[in-house]
Structure 1
Amino acid sequence: MQFKSMVLSNVEVSPGYFRMRMTAPQELLESSPGQFLMLKVVDAIDPLLRRPFGLFDVGTFAPEYAGCGTQCYTEILYKVVGKGTKMLSALHHGDLVDLLTPLGKGFAAGPAGEEKVLVGGGIGLAPLYYLAKDLVMKGEKVRLFAGGRNRDDILCITEFERLGVETYVSTDDGTLGERGLVTQVLEQHLGSGMRIFACGPTPMLKAVALMAQSHGVPCQVSMEAGMACGVGACLGCVLKGANHTDETPDYRCVCKDGPVFDSFELQWS
């Protein structure tokens, strides 16, 4: 669905990273963790195309927002990297954006009773919070492995901990948590009876997918890709499927077939 949304807050949560809350229709409460939205600033001509963002959270307002004309909200996390996200960082309460959401395929929680292991790198933590919230509400045991280059890339850990999620943090330079890659920390804790959900840079996802395969652990990955349309029309976010060869092409659209895939669906070579 497409709708106009009002910005409620837009806060810098770490240097260069922002958390934006916007109004949303009640139907968005039916969205799934791992789905995404396409956003455009109302009346803005440049940039022309919408920008994709994973759903960080969806919920209902506290009483103080009762005058907004809706009782629902959605949130995104984003990093300022170019003209579009710099424009977003300048928005304030009351500004309008145009949203197209919910889009794509989200995470499948899997059987009850498994330990749910979330692995995120940098802005990849965004869809994992919505997932963690959903899993905790279902009574699942959840652990989070969060990684980044330095402490500035570790986002919203307090929010995960408030849910009761056991967290492990690592940074490349050792400024927060353990020194090293998040996959190194993850490997120390892998075992049977787990299911992995990962989102972050492609090299991290590849390492997690191959590690999960070697341990026989089910794994879902949320892929990041540049998108122009968000609905599979432009074919600008195509990845190679696991069965792809030059003779028998196997392509998957991140926006339509994903962004969440079982790790065995994709070609990691």
Structure 2
Amino acid sequence: MRRDVRAKLLERRSLSPDASLLEFESDFLANELRPGQFTMLRLPGDEGLLLRRPYSFCDTDVAASRFSLLVKEVGRGTRALARLVPGDEVDCLGPLGSTFTMPPEGKRPVVVAGGVGIAPFVGFCRALSSASKVAVVLLGGRTSYDLYLREVFEALGMDVRCTTEDGSVGTRGRVTALLDDALDAETQLYSCGPTPMLLKVAELAKAKGIPHEVSLERRMGCGMGCCLGCVVYTSEYVRSCTEGPVFDASVIAWDRDPHPL
């Protein structure tokens, strides 16, 4: 059930020179959202930003009626959002979209995340931890600054392994280089991040016959399936905002992706 609600900013925490974690208060969203879902957000009173922007829910604290969003500054809208101060309010439509599924009994979850693709996995790994499951979490970024919330995954008891392109933390290179050692017949794979990374992960998973759920990052105009701006090709065009953003990676026709990034 989705609803348009007003959420109040409680805390803003800088994660890097261009990324922040924003923690909001909304009893409805904190109780209703599930890992993998997102919200369409709008800043009240800013007439220059006509369309809402999609943000994956990062984490939630139901008891405190809180949820968090990871925001990286890339344009006018994200800069304005990152400069909110506690007490400011935003309009949130949500929760929207599909969710990650918990791994079947006997399957070992492996999470692959690049950059802000880390965001939807915080709440997912919290759910895994509550179910006494430990995921292998493979985090990748250009530098150490891009390994957002690594300490949260570690605190949840996840097996965290990192790569950076400059070698500042973990293995030098891209996160997909860690996959061969992490995958086996008992793996249930999950990924989110830049499309080239997702394609590589999907190819490896397909070659090894490993089930793989992918959360696609797409530009969205409405979040409700009306504008068709976020379509993904499977055997037909489907909407990332309604049928997704979480998909079975094996059904996506990656060579016909209308939104290559």
| TM-score > 0.5, shorter chain as reference | yes
Once residues 6 and 28 of structure 1 are traced to their aligned partners in structure 2, the CA distance between those partners, rounded to angstroms, is: 12
1:55, 1:76 within 8 Å by CA — same for their partners in 2? yes
Counterpart for residue 258 of structure 2: none
User: Which amino acid letter does the alignment assign opposite residue 37 of structure 1?
Assistant: T
Match of 1:93 in 2: 86
Which residue of 241, 246, 251 maps to 1:260?
Answer: 246
Q: What's the CA shift for 1:268?
A: 1.5
Question: Considering only CA atoms, is the larger Rg found in Structure 1 or Structure 2?
Answer: 1
Who is 2:206 aligned against? Answer: 213
Partner of 2:46: 44
Matched length: 253
Where 2:117 maps in the other structure, the secondary structure is helix
Q: Structure 1: state its 5+ residue gaps.
A: 62-70, 244-249
Partner of 2:136: 143
The answer for the alignment partner of 2:61 in structure 1 is: 59
> What pairs up with 1:54-133 in 2 under 5 angstroms?
54-60=56-62, 71-133=64-126
> Counterparts of 1:48 and 1:191 in 2: how far apart (Å)?
46
Offset from partner CA, 1:88-122 (integer Å, 9 cap, x none): 11100000100011000011113123111110000
Whole-Å separation in 2 of the counterparts to 1:87 and 1:108: 33
What value does the CA root-mean-square deviation take over the aligned residues? 1.1
| Alignment-derived partner of residue 21 in structure 1 | 23
CA distance in 2, matches of 1:53, 1:127: 9
TM-score by length of 1: 0.91
Q: Is the 8 A contact 1:113 1:140 kept in 2?
A: no
Paired position in structure 2 for 1:12 = 14
Q: Show the counterpart of 1:34.
A: 36
Q: Which segment is superposed worse, 72-81 or 179-188?
A: 179-188
Does the C-alpha gap of structure 1 residues 27 and 152 become closer, same or farther in structure 2, counting only changes over 3 Å?
closer
Give the percent of matched residue pairs that are identical in Structure 1 and Structure 2.
37
Note if contact 1:35-1:104 (Cα within 8 Å) is conserved in structure 2.
Answer: yes
Q: Could you say which residue in structure 1 is the equivalent of 2:217?
A: 224
Larger deviation: 219-228 or 25-34? Answer: 25-34
Mapped partners of 1:146, 1:59: distance in 2: 23
Q: Which runs of 4+ in 1 moved over 6 A?
A: none
Q: Tell me what 1:64 maps to.
A: none
Report the alpha carbon displacement of residue 151 of structure 1 after superposing the two structures with TM: 1.2
Aligned residue number for residue 4 of structure 2 = 2
* Matched-pair contact (CA < 8 Å) for 2:9–2:88: yes
In structure 2, the residue corresponding to 1:55 is in which secondary structure? strand
Name the CA distance, whole Å, in 2 between partners of 1:5 and 1:112. Answer: 37
